Chains A and B, each alone.
Chain A
Amino acid sequence: MTTLLETRYRSVLRLLPAYYRSAREEEMVEVYLWDVDRDTQDQSRPTLGEVASVAALALRSRLAAAGAPRPYALFGSVVRHFALFAVLLQAAATVADRVLSLTWSSTHGRGQWDMFLSGFTGRGTLGVVAVAQWILPLLWIAGFFALLHERRALARAAVLLAALPSLWPLFGPLVSDVVTADLWFAAATALLAWLPALALCAAYHRDAPPATLPVGTPGLVLTACSVVMGGSLVLLPAMADAAWAPATGFVLGALAWLLLRNRRTDSAGSGGAAALAALGLLLLAVRLAALYLWLGVPVPTAFLGGALVQAGALALLVVVLALVARRDLAPR
């Protein structure tokens, strides 16, 4: 007769994917119940530690554990590509933004430099928050290089810290006098930071294959992406808002990826198109949220036109990438 404890363990094991349960459930239940007195089994429960270890195994087995069936292997590949591309995007956007703001402030007279510094000084706790918001995103760069050099623990810590500042516009108003007028933009930006960070933590587990870029070395690719994003701000300053540089970088990067993918004959790129489609969708949300801020406000035509063209390009790319992903991921 099945005891209550066995039923509870089987409930916990339902966290595991079906393929894993069919292979392991009976064996695992046997291990769990081995030295538990049958008379006390109705009073016992799985411990939190046991549930946590099964949850970790469930996550790992869904994101390409050793010997996982193809759908899980593909899903793991998509999540890993998404994390890699998104962390690259965040790192390049951070480099472009910090380099341009430092260059502008330090080359346009004392007044500009003082204005730059005044963002951090003389504001008490808010000054500390401003410093953290300026410095912590630099850890996207550390996370990107750590990931590609197989320092996964460092990469995980770096991206989680780098994503923290994106929460301030959402939770800052709860603990300070700060007011967030653009809640949709803040939410979309937080998603763009936290989804990649969590994807990296979940998908680059111990059994996951190493992260590799489709082309080039990490330094070269990051530099190229940073130059494209920085260039889009310098060449078209009239169109620049918070979404302009990352969206431009993504559009050009995704186009380059689509052109290069035909040269790859192996299956290592499987999941890349789906990952880029998901990232493009997130960026489209950020783009539209940034545009939503200006609804009802007279804005220069060039700015509005640039943002709308960019939103259209992002939408088109997402559709194309989704079609490519559908073909790549179709059952064989």
Chain B
Amino acid sequence: MTQAAFFVLTALADQPRHGYGILREVEDLSDGTVQLRVGTLYGVLDRLTADGLIVLDREEVHEGRLRRYYRLTGEGTAALDAEAERMAAGASAAKQRIAEGRRAPGAATRPTTDNPGLAGGLA
């Protein structure tokens, strides 16, 4: 699952949203690091719809313009849940490795550039 698809599914996890609402929610969820363009958003929405992960919830007309609201399907919720589990497991493994690295003997006294290298040089 791409990062864009993950954030779009996450944006729809709590309630149906329309296109602009999804863009803003994705930006908030990612602390501004993911800013989808409209063309990209609709490419993702097409793909998620075709995969059966989201569906059209309802349509509204505001000031003569069309708003479509999308929501997660059961399959979409399951896919998002599985992806979140996978990412959490990866993050947990990374944290564990970092902690083990810090506890390893000599971890705090790694050779610096002031010390000779294996070949005895200073490069």
Co-assembled chains A and B: yes
The chain A residues found within 8 Å of chain B, CB to CB, are: 24, 26-35, 49-50, 52-57, 60-61, 65-67, 206-207
User: A67 CA to B46 CA in the complex, in Å?
Assistant: 8
Collect the chain B residues with CB atoms within 8 Å of residue A50's CB. Answer: 37-39
Of B40, B46, B62, most A-chain CB atoms within 10 Å: B46
Partner of B39, one of A27, A30, A56, A66: A56
CB pair A35 B39 closer than 8 Å: no
CB pair A206 B47 closer than 8 Å: yes
Of B2, B39, B50, B67, most A-chain CB atoms within 10 Å: B39
Task: Determine chain A's interface SS by DSSP, over half rule.
Answer: helix
Q: Can you report 21 residue pairs joining A to B where beta carbons are below 8 Å apart?
A: A24-B42, A26-B66, A27-B19, A27-B67, A28-B42, A30-B65, A30-B66, A30-B67, A31-B41, A34-B20, A50-B38, A52-B37, A53-B39, A54-B38, A56-B40, A57-B39, A61-B46, A66-B46, A66-B49, A67-B50, A207-B46
CB pair B39 A65 closer than 8 Å: no
CB pair A30 B38 closer than 8 Å: no
Q: Chain A nearest CB: distance from B71 CB in Å? A: 15
Q: Which residue of A lies closest to B22 (CB)?
A: A31
Collect the chain B residues with CB atoms within 8 Å of residue A24's CB. Answer: 42
Collect the chain A residues with CB atoms within 8 Å of residue B8's CB. Answer: none
User: A243 CA to B18 CA in the complex, in Å?
Assistant: 56
Asked if B43 is at the interface of the complex by the 8 Å CB criterion, the answer is: yes
Within B16-43, the residues touching A (CB, 8 Å) are 18-20, 23, 37-43
Q: Chain B nearest CB: distance from A152 CB in Å? A: 13
CB pair A67 B39 closer than 8 Å: no
With A66-B46, A66-B47, A67-B46 as contacts: A28 and B65 at CB distance below 8 Å: no
Asked if B102 is at the interface of the complex by the 8 Å CB criterion, the answer is: no
Collect the chain A residues with CB atoms within 8 Å of residue B42's CB. Answer: 24, 28, 57
Q: Chain A nearest CB: distance from B76 CB in Å? A: 15
Collect the chain A residues with CB atoms within 8 Å of residue B41's CB. Answer: 31
Q: Which residue of A lies closest to B35 (CB)?
A: A49
Collect the chain B residues with CB atoms within 8 Å of residue A30's CB. Answer: 18-20, 62, 65-67
Q: Which residue of B lies closest to A50 (CB)?
A: B37
User: A35 CA to B18 CA in the complex, in Å?
Assistant: 14
User: A68 CA to B50 CA in the complex, in Å?
Assistant: 10
CB pair B49 A26 closer than 8 Å: no
Q: Which residue of B lies closest to A28 (CB)?
A: B38
Partner of A53, one of B2, B40, B47, B62: B40
Q: Chain B nearest CB: distance from A63 CB in Å? A: 12
Q: Chain B nearest CB: distance from A134 CB in Å? A: 34
Q: Chain A nearest CB: distance from B47 CB in Å? A: 5
Collect the chain B residues with CB atoms within 8 Å of residue A54's CB. Answer: 38-39
Asked if B95 is at the interface of the complex by the 8 Å CB criterion, the answer is: no
CB pair B38 A207 closer than 8 Å: no
Q: Chain A nearest CB: distance from B6 CB in Å? A: 14
CB pair A32 B65 closer than 8 Å: no
Q: Which residue of B lies closest to A56 (CB)?
A: B39
Q: Chain B nearest CB: distance from A217 CB in Å? A: 29
Collect the chain A residues with CB atoms within 8 Å of residue B39's CB. Answer: 50, 52-57
Collect the chain A residues with CB atoms within 8 Å of residue B66's CB. Answer: 26-27, 30
Q: Chain A nearest CB: distance from B46 CB in Å? A: 5
Collect the chain A residues with CB atoms within 8 Å of residue B51's CB. Answer: 66
Q: Chain A nearest CB: distance from B4 CB in Å? A: 10
User: A57 CA to B51 CA in the complex, in Å?
Assistant: 18
Of A27, A49, A206, most B-chain CB atoms within 10 Å: A27
Q: Chain B nearest CB: distance from A35 CB in Å? A: 7
Partner of B20, one of A26, A31, A57: A31
User: A30 CA to B66 CA in the complex, in Å?
Assistant: 7
Q: Which residue of A lies closest to B40 (CB)?
A: A53
Collect the chain B residues with CB atoms within 8 Å of residue A35's CB. Answer: 20
Closest 8 CB pairs of A and B: A53-B39, A66-B50, A53-B37, A26-B66, A31-B19, A57-B39, A34-B20, A30-B65
